[in-house]
């Protein structure tokens, strides 16, 4: 099958799976921003996306797309290193016109994966997974919390400065990954003429920045709420 046996086919699979995950990021970021406006509204979304059949199906599809993206990204990286051989060390400087992000996509991807693992252990494992296995709730700060009470988890975790810094590092890596990955995926699909390629690069930067600001705003807002409740107590109320 040419999709698996050719470099172009493998890049196409990686690109399509990446664009699929980009749409999920936009949805997830938008959902999280709701928490700043209203904790009650955010919890309603969490309850809607609990252990219902459509949410579970969506989770499986996302997990599949995520695995496909990682597998093909790793496969292509190993093949590229093998093809370069000893020439990989011939030039340490980034070639003119080549973005830093494009030279470090795999490293950035590894940071993104590490951030996802942290996020899954703190949120998904204590929310949807708890519902799947039939537990009453997860224990945080010595109390059992309803798995649909997403606002409680956000308030708890983002009151910890170390966790906040780790999330912000994750978001920075995600920004770099998106600024190159978004337009590169579209180029692989075929939208790479001279006019539109530059436009897609601009759109990629704007999109990545919007996603970054949305996610980072939630972390910063709830941390400020924890340290200055008299000033920022209205956040997530």
Query: Over pLDDT 90: what percentage of the chain?
Result: 46
Domains of the chain (ranges; CATH) run 2-84+102-232 (1.20.1300.10)
Confidence label for 53 from pLDDT (cuts 50, 70 and 90)? confident
**pLDDT for res 95:** 44
pLDDT at 86 over 80: no
Mean pLDDT across 25-46 = 94
8-15 contacts, C-beta under 8 A, 24 or more apart:
8/188, 10/72, 10/75, 10/76, 11/72, 11/76, 11/188, 12/188, 12/189, 13/68, 13/72, 14/68, 14/69, 14/72, 14/73, 14/76, 14/185, 14/188, 15/184, 15/185, 15/186, 15/188, 15/189
């Amino acid at each position: 099958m040419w999709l698996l046996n050719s470099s172009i086919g493998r890049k196409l699979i990686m690109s399509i799976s990446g664009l699929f995950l980009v749409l999920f990021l936009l949805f997830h970021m938008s959902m999280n921003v709701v928490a700043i406006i209203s904790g009650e509204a955010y919890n309603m979304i969490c309850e809607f996306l609990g252990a219902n059949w459509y949410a579970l199906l969506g989770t499986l599809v996302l997990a599949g797309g995520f695995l496909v993206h990682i597998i093909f990204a790793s496969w292509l990286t190993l093949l590229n290193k093998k093809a370069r051989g000893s020439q990989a060390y011939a030039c340490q400087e980034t070639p003119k016109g080549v973005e830093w992000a494009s030279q470090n996509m795999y490293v950035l991807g590894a940071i993104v994966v590490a951030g996802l693992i942290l996020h899954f252990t703190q949120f998904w494992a204590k929310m949807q997974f708890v519902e799947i296995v039939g537990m009453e709730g997860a224990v945080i700060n010595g109390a059992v919390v309803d798995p649909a009470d997403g606002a409680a988890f956000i308030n708890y975790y983002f009151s910890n400065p170390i966790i906040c810094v780790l999330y912000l590092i994750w978001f920075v890596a995600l920004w770099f990954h998106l600024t190159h990955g978004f337009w590169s995926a579209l180029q692989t699909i075929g939208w790479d003429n001279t006019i539109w390629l530059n436009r897609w690069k601009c759109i990629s930067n704007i999109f990545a920045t919007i996603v970054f600001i949305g996610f980072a705003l939630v972390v910063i807002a709830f941390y400020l709420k924890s340290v200055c409740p008299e000033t920022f107590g209205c956040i997530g109320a």
